[in-house]
Structure 1
Amino acid sequence: MSQSSPKSPHISVVVPAYNEAGNVVPLAREIAEALDGRSFEILFVDDSSSDATRQELIDAKADLPMLRVIVHRTNCGQSRSVRTGVMHARGDIVCTLDGDGQNPPQDLPSVIDALTRDDAPENLALVGGDRTANRQDSAWKKFASRAGNGLRQAMLNDNCADTGCGLKAFKRSAYLQLPYFDHQHRFLPALMIREGFQCEFRPVTHRHRTIGTSKYTNFGRLFASLTDIMGVMWLNSRARNPRGSDEF
């Protein structure tokens, strides 16, 4: 298997993980296999897990030299884990996927190639995955997701049918221009559009969780989404975009 350069990988895959022992190492190996032949690194951000997640990842570095393990000293949530990973990333292109293994890494090339294709719009900054046709969750969870996505689309007009899909590829430089807040990761398309960037979406596969349990509840997520949507609406109302700048 090819190895990415430790100094200048083109792609940085960021995976937030909290109490995902048993999931993280197989997932890391799948990512490495999916990106074999490309210049990449893999950053797992352990959000202060209380199980063996951290040690499993550290042990796996012996066989996966492109693997980096970043550990939060205290638990801060998924959005902060993504941000920590992006801040540590060395690639121009950042990909994210969830640490539970439900986002198959085999879909990474699809979103990466769409973002970096020769005929991509100049301001294309994010390509997200869309699990709508292939989601492997309970009927209740899918219903709650559809309701939440529909509400968010109606209020933010971000044209994203599945913002909760963890599999995304985006330009690191664009991400660093976004305002940060907790739960930010669910609003990346809307925030990218706010800054004048363009987003696209590609259908991706999805699979059942086989180890561990979800860290979210439907009602908890809905409550957080409602307050966050109002916050993003306020941010959008205060945006002023110069459409670029020139130096003379």
Structure 2
Amino acid sequence: MNYKFTIVVPVYNEEDNLERVEKELLQYTTIASVSTKVLFVNDGSKDKSLELIEAICKRNHAFEFISFESNRGLSAAIKAGFDYTTTELVGYIDSDLQTAPEDFNLLLQHISDYDLVTGVRANRKDSFVKNMSSKIANGIRRAFTHDGMDDTGCPLKVIKTDYAKRIPMFKGLHRFLPAMVMLQNGKVIQIPVQHFPRIAGTAKFGLWNRLLGPLMDCFAYLWMKKKYINYTVNKKSE
């Protein structure tokens, strides 16, 4: 099948969620506004996640996977997903399914006019501490990047693949995807999406990851912005 859109699903110790992930993403492929496939990226899980992923991919032709030798973190998993994507469009969703796959259709409505479309979680169903730390971290990031995004941590995005593959990812930079697309002179927009409480499994980010870590990453972003190489070819030999 000639797929147009790949959904990257980073997975780290999510064995309790994967049956629901399979069900909901399989259902989404039947209602997706463009032909869609799924790419699991197993980030060195220590539970039965890989075993379950392999079984899922064997029984669903639109599902594929790659697996890391060891845990490398969310940014590495997202980058690997981008690297292994062969479709025109790429997106990602977390395997905890706190966002809804059907909301990809909301984002896809805008991708012809933009190079990255990100969700912004409306009525977040997280704890007060998590919500406040994310709000503070987003405010700090906006002050550094001027990307205008309210919720770059939202795990629901659609990107034109050629832009995604040019993002020089490093640890923590998954929070800066809109800013990195803007460095390429790309256009970004945020669209409200649904948000749900986590049903199974455990969160992989604590206060450090949500607040202090992103602050340090802002300085890494500023360094990269200063050193970033951007060019446009307007003519080549035929």
Instruction: Indicate the TM-score class for this superposition, using the shorter chain for normalisation.
Output: over 0.9
How far is 1:241 from its partner?
A: 4.0
Where does residue 141 of structure 2 map in the other structure? 152
Runs of 4+ in 1 over 6 A off after TM superposition: none
Given the alignment, which residue of 225, 232, 247 partners 2:235? 247
**Any conservation in 1 of the 2:92–2:158 contact (CA below 8 Å)?**
yes
**1:178-197 residue pairs with structure 2 within 5 A?**
178-197=167-186
**1:30-69 residue pairs with structure 2 within 5 A?**
30-36=24-30, 38-69=34-65
Root-mean-square deviation over aligned CA pairs: 1.5
CA gap of 1:49–1:241, structure 2 versus 1, over 3 A, is closer
Where does residue 213 of structure 2 map in the other structure? 224
The DSSP-based 3-state class of the residue aligned with 2:75 is helix
**Any conservation in 2 of the 1:134–1:204 contact (CA below 8 Å)?**
no
Rounded to whole Å, the distance in 2 between the matches of 1:35 and 1:125 is 22
- AA in 2 matched with 1:23: N
How far is 1:240 from its partner?
A: 5.6
The DSSP-based 3-state class of the residue aligned with 1:70 is strand
How far is 1:28 from its partner?
A: 2.6
Rounded to whole Å, the distance in 2 between the matches of 1:220 and 1:191 is 20
The percentage of aligned residue pairs carrying the same residue is 30
Q: Are 2:20 and 1:26 aligned?
A: yes
Where does residue 130 of structure 1 map in the other structure? 120
Q: Which runs of 5+ in 2 are unaligned?
A: none
Under a length normalisation based on structure 1, what TM-score does the superposition of the two structures give?
A: 0.90
- AA in 2 matched with 1:14: V
Under a length normalisation based on structure 2, what TM-score does the superposition of the two structures give?
A: 0.93
The DSSP-based 3-state class of the residue aligned with 1:61 is helix
**1:103-114 residue pairs with structure 2 within 5 A?**
103-114=99-110
Rounded to whole Å, the distance in 1 between the matches of 2:177 and 2:22 is 24
Q: Tell me the number of residue pairs that the alignment of Structure 1 and Structure 2 aligns.
A: 234
The DSSP-based 3-state class of the residue aligned with 1:181 is coil
